[in-house]
Structure 1
Amino acid sequence: MIIQGKPDTNITQTVANCTIISAISDEHLLSVLHPETWVICRPGYSTLMDLLTLQHPRIVTIPTPGQTEQEYLAAHLFHIYGIRYIQQSESLPDFTTIPNAVFEGKQNQELRLILKEFLKK
């Protein structure tokens, strides 16, 4: 699942076994979040607090460049909890290398394309 953090739009689409949601309410998040679901999101304070409160085990964050609070939170949570983060300026990872991830072959390539589009906005 990719949560774009854009409350002004209302877009939901599924590509390559990945749901992309422009914004999500707490209630909706609770209804769709399962332990096996990977969440890729910006590390905004509210989003992280929701995910940490739910003790969600599979999170990858991508801080918005220049947002020092997001950059700090991403690095801090990596050091404390091992939550993975990627700098937007870095190459997108091969998601097949993430432990317990299920992104193989074509799905991995499609997810990388989806994330490139997500990061442009």
Structure 2
Amino acid sequence: MNKKLVLNLLSSSAIFTSLMSTLAAINPAHASVNLTQRLMHTDDGRTCITNPHGLKDFVCIRDSERDPKAAPAPKSMVVSSSPSDTNVAELNFTEEESDAAIRIFKCDCPYCINSLRQLRGTGNLVY
């Protein structure tokens, strides 16, 4: 009987909507999530980083695509980034970086631009 009552209550749109909005208020989605990625240098001349949107698969570039002035990549390291608390009026990245991020990660959001810059050894995008 209790299961039937619960199913009847949940099937009511007003109660279901109220329940869902309560759950959303208790556990809201946050856009400012800390991102921890693994950056590694392979023996076959590639630099790889975990995909910022999947965090499971690795995305790699040849070392010839890295900035020649960049420090040599260590064998493996963990990279953490989090959005800053300050308001940034404009994100400073080039059209080439945007195109490269889209080509490599299929996206040019700030996390992907940061990952591209870490792969190339050119520093982080501040956001």
TM-score range, shorter chain: under 0.3
The structure, 1 or 2, with the larger RCO (C-alpha pairs under 8 Å, 6+ apart) is 2
Whose Rg is larger? 2
TM-score scaled to structure 2, two decimals? Answer: 0.25
